[in-house]
Amino acid sequence: MNNKFYDIEVLNQDGSVQNLHEYEGKVLLVVNTATGCGFTPQYEALEAMYKEFKDRGFEILDFPCNQFAEQAKESDQEINQFCKMKYDTTFKRFKKVEVNGDNKCEIFKYLENSQEYKGKGLKMAMLNKFSKATGNEIRWNFTKFLVDSLGNVVDRFEPVKDMKDVKKAVEKLLK
């Protein structure tokens, strides 16, 4: 496979560099998260989905982010500890990142260039009041991007999207 998505390098929690080639051939859900957000309980649905589908070639890549109302102030280690203790998460969590602005990490540049913003409805309109994002930029924590087994970014789910719909989209790619 020769998809540019896999050439992206990200930072593990210990600061070491990881190339995404490790995930070639897998269906991925890439999500920016926060521990103090109203959407934080989505960790429960994410972990349930991960446990159900991980043996079928599914991975969740979790990137904590403190850019939205400072809802992930903790250190990487504290965030990881919180997620494991509160939600028993077992999927991969990377070093805290910025998803917007001058220090935007490469993976989120790629993702938002691959899938346009899909926020509609009253809930997203309310979130947009608190976000300075424009265009296809990430508007809030728990924005999710679905990547197929060939490295194509095939869908984007804003934080208000029902997790049942996210699960259906993942399952469809795993068939």
Q: Please, are residues 96 and 65 in contact by the beta-carbon 8 Å criterion?
A: yes
6 strand-pairing partners: none
> Which residue out of 37, 65, 83, 105 is catalytically annotated?
37
Alpha-helix residue ranges (DSSP H) falling in 54-105 = 76-87
b/e code 131-140 from CB counts within 10 Å (16+ = b): bebeeebbbb
| Strands 144-147 vs 17-19: parallel, antiparallel or unpaired | unpaired
Give yes or no: 37 in active site.
yes
Please state the length of the chain: 175
Classified as helix, coil or strand, 86 is helix
Q: Please, are residues 66 and 34 in contact by the beta-carbon 8 Å criterion?
A: yes
Q: Please, are residues 137 and 68 in contact by the beta-carbon 8 Å criterion?
A: no
Catalytic residue positions, numbered:
37
